Structure 1
Amino acid sequence: MKLFTASLVTLAMLTAAGPAAAESKPLEVSGYYKNLSIFTESLVTGEDIYATINRLRVELFKEVNPWSFQITLDNELIGNDFANTPDFAAIRSREQQNTSVWDGDKTSVDNDHVYLRHAVYRAFAKYYSPDFQVTMGKQGIDWGVMRFYSPNDIFNTVGPIDLERDERVGVDAINANFTLGSLSGVNAVVVPSDDEEEFMAAVKVYRTVETYDVALITAIIREQVIAGITFDGYIKSAGFRGEINHNHQDDGRNFLRASVGVDYSFSDKTYVLIEQLFNGGVDKNAAATFLTDFKANRRLLSLEKNLTSLWLQYKITPLLELNQYVIYDWDGNSAVYNPELSYNLTENTDITAGVQINFGDNGSEFGDTPDLYYAQFQLFF
């Protein structure tokens, strides 16, 4: 934490010492209001439970060439009827005191029915030049190319059927990119921490080879040593991508993870994507925390080794879209089916409704997960 704070202070000093004649642009203010209502069953008691999430996000962006600065603030109120059950642990496990070096969260109310949280969602400064870019602060970092399970998305990856896939837990990092010509470069990320168990550092070397973007990565992520390769390109008019890595964990386990996928647009209305995951790092002993602990869930990636994921998208009208997500677990013979309708109500207003239906026996990938129904309203400004 001390190192991270010192890094930000150094950045501020460098910024202040920049050219006085730097071009300054007006402050940009944007954001959204979102209401997400969820209805499901308790993992523990089987009783019906609900949560309604109300989030007001305000984003401030200022550009002073060659620097830019962004801070994103959230005020989030969750009304619910299960705060005193173990089910609510899944929400509390995402608090920044559990996921980040710098705790930018403040919970002002946490009682039987109301959970009110104020958070710094993003806070970073970025320097840009054609040959070198660096971002320092709380930011989102995505090294993956897969839609569902992404082995090389090593910084707080997003779950395969998360309801808010665009809400990535931030990383308090120094993220530097060195451009080596127009088609290649080196990306280095360091997450400074006084706690060895939270320290993260990674290097990605990337290059465009014909129709493919290829990257090699090596990383230390919370005492895991990871080496991998990513590719993303085309076979004729179909997209073809994949991620492969080798993990060495602090408990001595060594294993391989790999995911490959193909996608194709049959028309302006119809899109299909299919992906296959092999996860050699499954740990059945950790199944109890998989559904309730954010860090455990992202570290394990899945409970079973072999999963096939399918995404079918059909645009009913230019404003109305049907998405269907299916994941099948070959080892536990379980599955989840997630149909979702989205409608662009106005230029800056979207509404979404869907259901996640789970099939399978207890102990399988989806057998212990109760069905879930949701509806969302989002207004951008």
Structure 2
Amino acid sequence: MFDKSMTSTIFLILIGLLLTTPNAYPADWLSVHGYYKSYFTAYDWPDIDFFISNKFDYTKESPVYAAVDNHLRLKTTALITDRLSLTGAYDFSPRAERDTTLNPVPSWLASISTTRSGYRVDDIRYRLYPGPKDTMGNFGIYQNLDRLFLTVNSRFADIYVGRQAIAWGSARVINPTDVLAPYAFNELDVEDRIGVDAVRLRMPIGLLSEIDAGYVFGDDFESKKSAMFLRGKINYRRSDISLLAVGFRENLMIGLDVARPIGGAGFWFEGAYVFDKALNSDERDGDYDFFRGTIGCDYSLRDGTYLFIEYHYNGAGVNDFENSSETISNEAYGEASGYLVGKHYLAPGVNHQLTPLITIGRQLLANLSDPSVFVMPTVEYNIAENIYLSGGAYLGFGGGADCRGDSDSLPIVLHLTCKSEFGNYPDYYFTSFRVYF
């Protein structure tokens, strides 16, 4: 296993060699760019009603949780030869937040992009301050070596070796085939995909067609924590068609992705069937196999309005939220990065450019079985070239939660019941300031 200090040392040596030998490369051999982003978020958790012997007792009001996240990302690409390049990206993120020990926030509901991929052999230390053995307070400094890969451009294929972004799917909101390192639908910062450690080959086989294959390494190179994939993409009569097979953490996924224009609109279908532990005959259980599919279309109006709508079917989900534990306990679903617990979802959205500098948008995700809905209105102002200010809210509507107990039995045992999916998400509000350079 690589020591974490060894990983960072190798990275620094590579960068040092590149920076100290500029005469070996053309004048434009090195490019450096990036961005600075600052997010302020405030979370308002749902209140919980308490009932004793079916009589209302009191309402517990949850405190507001707030955080300020500053995110500096530096990206660099070095052209070593005309066929070989090195790409890197490093994130530095100071964060001030309300002490999470007072009101813990589940990681799957975190809105700021702090998600870390499980497909990494090793990594540099994530939290710089406080130290690993120190108690976490209301301020922390974090880092992420998110890209570090070599690109080899040969005559027949492009080869990528190292930490890189790998993602698939044409769907706008929920991608069934994207199982390696996807973002949740309510992430604020989805500009850069989470890097994974992989070896990848992309070979063109015709106009807009390719073979894409690779191996993605898990922790300490363990095969049961790793993934491998083979994808073929062709363009047939204006349709982009992709067939995909992914073996991940001993599961097998077979996927299909189709995207094409129809008239003035765009259409897409993305579906995937997951076979639980299909690559481990000793643990194979067909009861946990599931299918997920997304179908949708979009259309752009002449006045600058963009419209889209998607329907998503989740075969691992349930119609009754009170049975959501069945979905949560499906290990293959979790390993496929699934997080929604319902079966049927509808996701419409609209963006409109009010002026050349101001854009407003609204998107929602509705669980049709609960029913419950998550509404996401946003507004963005382009202050100057490469400088943006935006704000918005993510609001959940639906049945909340209550705690019930019986006074006839002492001590009173309380049972928490959640009545819907999005009715139990926190409402949160955000502003963001972004500068690109």
Gap change, CA 1:286 and 1:32, over 3 Å in 2: farther
Aligned residues: 365
Contact 2:317/2:327, CA 8 A, preserved across alignment? no
The residue number in structure 2 matching 1:348 is: 386
Q: Which amino acid aligns with 1:141?
A: I
Match of 2:230 among 189, 200, 203: 203
Match of 1:26 among 21, 25, 29: 29
Match of 1:138 among 163, 168, 191: 163
Contact 2:359/2:379, CA 8 A, preserved across alignment? yes
The residue number in structure 1 matching 2:289 is: 254
Match of 2:305 among 266, 270, 273: 270
Q: Which amino acid aligns with 1:380?
A: Y
Match of 2:39 among 36, 43, 52: 36
Gap change, CA 1:98 and 1:299, over 3 Å in 2: closer
Match of 2:255 among 210, 216, 228: 228
CA–CA distance in structure 2, aligned partners of residues 87 and 368 of structure 1: 13
Match of 1:60 among 56, 73, 76: 76
Q: Which amino acid aligns with 2:325?
A: N
The residue number in structure 1 matching 2:431 is: 375
Q: Calculate the aligned-residue CA RMSD, in Å.
A: 2.9
The residue number in structure 1 matching 2:190 is: 165
The alpha-carbon deviation at position 60 of structure 1 amounts to 1.4
Contact 1:96/1:102, CA 8 A, preserved across alignment? no
CA–CA distance in structure 1, aligned partners of residues 118 and 208 of structure 2: 38
TM-score by length of 1: 0.87
Contact 1:325/1:337, CA 8 A, preserved across alignment? yes
1:285 is the counterpart of 2:302: no
The alpha-carbon deviation at position 158 of structure 1 amounts to 1.8
1:107 is the counterpart of 2:127: yes
The alpha-carbon deviation at position 243 of structure 1 amounts to 0.5
Moved more, 275-284 or 339-348: 275-284
Match of 1:187 among 212, 228, 249: 212
CA–CA distance in structure 1, aligned partners of residues 201 and 26 of structure 2: 23
TM-score by length of 2: 0.77
Q: Which amino acid aligns with 1:350?
A: Y
CA–CA distance in structure 1, aligned partners of residues 185 and 106 of structure 2: 20
Q: Which amino acid aligns with 1:265?
A: S
CA–CA distance in structure 1, aligned partners of residues 202 and 250 of structure 2: 24
Contact 2:45/2:425, CA 8 A, preserved across alignment? no
SS in 2 for 1:300: coil
Moved more, 269-278 or 33-42: 33-42
Gap change, CA 1:95 and 1:195, over 3 Å in 2: farther
The alpha-carbon deviation at position 244 of structure 1 amounts to 1.1
The alpha-carbon deviation at position 204 of structure 1 amounts to 0.4
Q: Deviations over 1:286-325 (max 9, x none)?
A: 77799xxxx9496224111110101101000011000110
Q: Which amino acid aligns with 1:285?
A: S
Gap change, CA 1:145 and 1:267, over 3 Å in 2: same
The alpha-carbon deviation at position 118 of structure 1 amounts to 1.7
The alpha-carbon deviation at position 174 of structure 1 amounts to 0.8
SS in 1 for 2:423: coil
- Which protein shows a greater Rg? 2
Gap change, CA 1:191 and 1:24, over 3 Å in 2: farther
CA–CA distance in structure 2, aligned partners of residues 99 and 47 of structure 1: 35
The alpha-carbon deviation at position 66 of structure 1 amounts to 0.9
Unaligned runs of 5+ in 2: 19-23, 49-60, 131-135, 278-284, 319-323, 400-417
CA–CA distance in structure 1, aligned partners of residues 270 and 31 of structure 2: 37
Kindly report which structure 2 residues correspond to 1:66-77, keeping only aligned pairs within 5 A, or say none.
66-77=83-94
Unaligned runs of 5+ in 1: none
Contact 1:40/1:49, CA 8 A, preserved across alignment? yes
The residue number in structure 1 matching 2:358 is: 320
Match of 1:212 among 221, 239, 250: 239
1:155 is the counterpart of 2:195: no
The residue number in structure 2 matching 1:87 is: 105
SS in 2 for 1:82: coil
The alpha-carbon deviation at position 133 of structure 1 amounts to 0.6
The residue number in structure 1 matching 2:403 is: none
Q: Which amino acid aligns with 1:132?
A: A
Contact 1:130/1:179, CA 8 A, preserved across alignment? no
Contact 2:267/2:297, CA 8 A, preserved across alignment? yes
Contact 2:264/2:299, CA 8 A, preserved across alignment? yes
CA–CA distance in structure 2, aligned partners of residues 29 and 93 of structure 1: 22
Q: Which amino acid aligns with 1:248?
A: F
Contact 2:119/2:180, CA 8 A, preserved across alignment? no
The alpha-carbon deviation at position 42 of structure 1 amounts to 4.6
The residue number in structure 2 matching 1:121 is: 146
Contact 2:119/2:226, CA 8 A, preserved across alignment? no
Q: Give identity over the alignment, percent.
A: 24
Gap change, CA 1:339 and 1:93, over 3 Å in 2: closer
